[in-house]
Copies of this chain bind each other. A is one copy, B any other.
């Protein structure tokens, strides 16, 4: 095996790796966009964008929470959430009030319309399930794998 062969093999390995990481990260990236596009017409009827829908999902599970709490649940920071929450407030779906106990904290609570929207939103999941053309079991298994990957990535970030 001469030096030329070694060089060629090294290039090939690097190229493969470059392609591999491209495909995995790009797969997640492009699938997120594909989901977004499938959600769009469904969420248009609710008057929500996908990130706004995520915030509403979080609030339907537990509201009257600080912005920081929402950020930790959704992996988003105040730079993203503050303007988004102001738009939800303008749409009269949430109310933002400063905590009396700690004036640094802004508490996000659902309005009656915000609570009511939950009923409309119940039509969304089955449409997504249909579009994915997967069984619930398959999706759950994939979800667990993806979440495990995400958590490992976030663990590295936390170091």
Contact = CB atoms under 8 A, between A and B. Distances in A.
Interface of A: 14, 17-35, 37-39, 50, 54, 57, 60-61, 74-75, 121-122, 124-126, 128-129, 131-134, 136, 139-140, 142-143, 145-147, 149-150, 152-157
Contacts of A146: 27-28, 31, 142, 146
Interface of A is mostly: helix
A35 B25 contact: yes
A43 to B, nearest CB: 11
A121 to B, nearest CB: 7
B21 A156 contact: no
B24 A139 contact: yes
A35 B143 contact: no
B156 A131 contact: yes
